[in-house]
Structure 1
Amino acid sequence: MKKVLLIMMVLFMGITAMAGAGEVKEPAEEMTVSEVMPGNAYLPRGTMIPAELLTAVSSGDNKAGDKISFKVCEDVAVGNIVVIPKGTVGEGYVKAAKKAGLFGKSGSIQLDASNIETPGGLDVPLTMDFAKIGKNQRVELNYNNSIAGAALSALIPGSNQKINEGAPIMIFVPVNVDLQVKSDEVSPPADDPAGKNIFVQPAPMAANPYVTGNEWTYTGSKGTIAFSIVEVGKKKFKGQLISTGDELLVFDQSFEAEKTNQFTSIKAKSKTDGKKYTIQLFFRDDGTWQYVVDHSPKADQESIILIKQDSGNSL
């Protein structure tokens, strides 16, 4: 009887080990919790950082746990402080990998980011898993055809998934990161007093943004953007998007979009060139929206921060 139990235990342990093979465990839970000292400036949870992959990977050659690196493609700033300069290199890993198999079974690979160190010595936790930001909501992310960390399967049956060096990827900040500097030491950029990434709140304040009458705007050297909520339903909301300026694509469009906690996507026709564009907005814990236009020939191909206007409605 004891021998039978021992054999069963060995078999169970073997099955458990096989089930866990090919996938790396999630980073420590401490990454999901962050405290910001009252009065300090911070990099808000939900910030999207466009980057490019520096390490080519393949489901046929790589295994779970292999290290990867990436390079940030635009400055990430809080007011006049560039927290993460363009070109900064961060680290990540292969979260799961499965080789192509017999009978046309395709390979798959999943990546994740882990962290990046700022010039000031802060270690900023990062992720490519949008579920950590969007509270497990299924959303399609497509920033310049970038890879958002979802498991990728090869398009050709029986082949391995390959991701080349230089591929665009989307990185997210999963927690509020205390910059260890008082908010009164942070000022708007000198050349753009109401512009990119100016957010200094007394404390993180994330909540439901979908309230009729809420409006967020940008006014700066690039032009103006106004994004407003007109009507809110159970699953969708209606709004208005207006943008002007020589350095921005011009839009003036009513729209209907899906409600998600941290992300929304809008299809709009530009008055600048008559083409249709996808506008992506990422809601962050400081109550701002991060505005990006996919494949824009203008300055809005990089992030612009929309700040909530006081309309009498509270988030």
Structure 2
Amino acid sequence: MNLKSYSVVAILIIMMVTASVSSASATETATANMPQELLIAKGTIIKIQAVDSISSQKNKHNEKVHFKVKEDIMVGDDTIVPANTDVEGIITKVKKARSWDRDGQIEVVFSEVKTKDGYSLPVDGRIYLRGDKPNILVRYSLGGVFIKGKEAVIKAGVEVNLQIKADTIFQRPLSGIKEKV
């Protein structure tokens, strides 16, 4: 072989290596740009905390009450729900304390937590609280009409655990969620 043949062979080898490297690079870039699925499993706990006090005396049925997420909800390295995200609960039951030592009652139900992108994450959670136990002697005495029961109060700062209702899949980049069937 002469010098010209070596040059042609060398150029062909360089072209094949360059094509191979750029093909591998394009494949890696395409793979990196493909959406990846992130899963939040059913039963995952979300800790929330009451922002304000809620009581059977001042709050009303169907009133919205506010809680906040205590700590980031992460899937891998991605924050799905940041700490301090607002969570709304709905008062589904409220009874004021009454005479004859009948205590107040309050129930708050939670159905969703919003992700940082505004998507709805389905949750199960509720708080049911009743005032102190009634005093049987007061309840059945004539003087009971003058003795009022205790109000049910959920104090600011009270913590509650919510659970993710269903396996939920996010697409990375975080562009949407869907419940896994």
Question: Does TM, normalized by the shorter one, top 0.5?
Answer: yes
* Cα displacement (A) at 1:156: 5.7
Q: With CA pairs under 8 Å and 6+ residues apart, which has the higher RCO, 1 or 2?
A: 2
Correspondence for 2:93: 96
Correspondence for 1:78: 75
- Cα distance in 2 for partners of 1:46, 1:177 equals 11
Q: Show CA shifts across 1:189-226 (max 9, x none).
A: xxxxxxxxxxxxxx969xxxxxxxxxxxxxxxxxxxxx
Correspondence for 1:180: 171
Among 142, 147, 155, the alignment partner of 2:132 is 155
Q: Is the 8 A contact 2:166 2:180 kept in 1?
A: no
Correspondence for 1:68: 65
Q: Is the 8 A contact 1:99 1:107 kept in 2?
A: yes
AA matched with 1:173: I
- Cα distance in 2 for partners of 1:67, 1:87 equals 17
What are the within-5 Å matches in structure 2 for residues 34-183 of structure 1?
40-129=37-126, 149=127, 151-155=128-132, 157=134, 158-181=149-172
Correspondence for 1:242: none
AA matched with 1:42: L
CA RMSD of aligned residues (A): 2.2
Q: Is the 8 A contact 1:44 1:204 kept in 2?
A: no
* Cα displacement (A) at 1:77: 0.7
* Cα displacement (A) at 1:162: 0.9
AA matched with 2:163: F
- Cα distance in 2 for partners of 1:179, 1:118 equals 10
Whose helix fraction is larger, Structure 1's or Structure 2's?
2
TM-score, scaled relative to structure 2: 0.63
AA matched with 1:95: T
AA matched with 1:163: I
AA matched with 1:115: E
- Cα distance in 1 for partners of 2:124, 2:65 equals 13
TM-score, scaled relative to structure 1: 0.37
Correspondence for 2:140: none
Question: Secondary structure of 1:128's partner?
Answer: strand
* Cα displacement (A) at 1:51: 1.3
Question: Secondary structure of 1:60's partner?
Answer: coil
- Which runs of 5 or more residues in structure 2 are unaligned? 1-35, 135-148, 174-178
- Cα distance in 1 for partners of 2:161, 2:96 equals 24
Question: Secondary structure of 1:126's partner?
Answer: strand
- Cα distance in 1 for partners of 2:60, 2:43 equals 29
Q: Is the 8 A contact 1:77 1:84 kept in 2?
A: yes
AA matched with 1:90: V
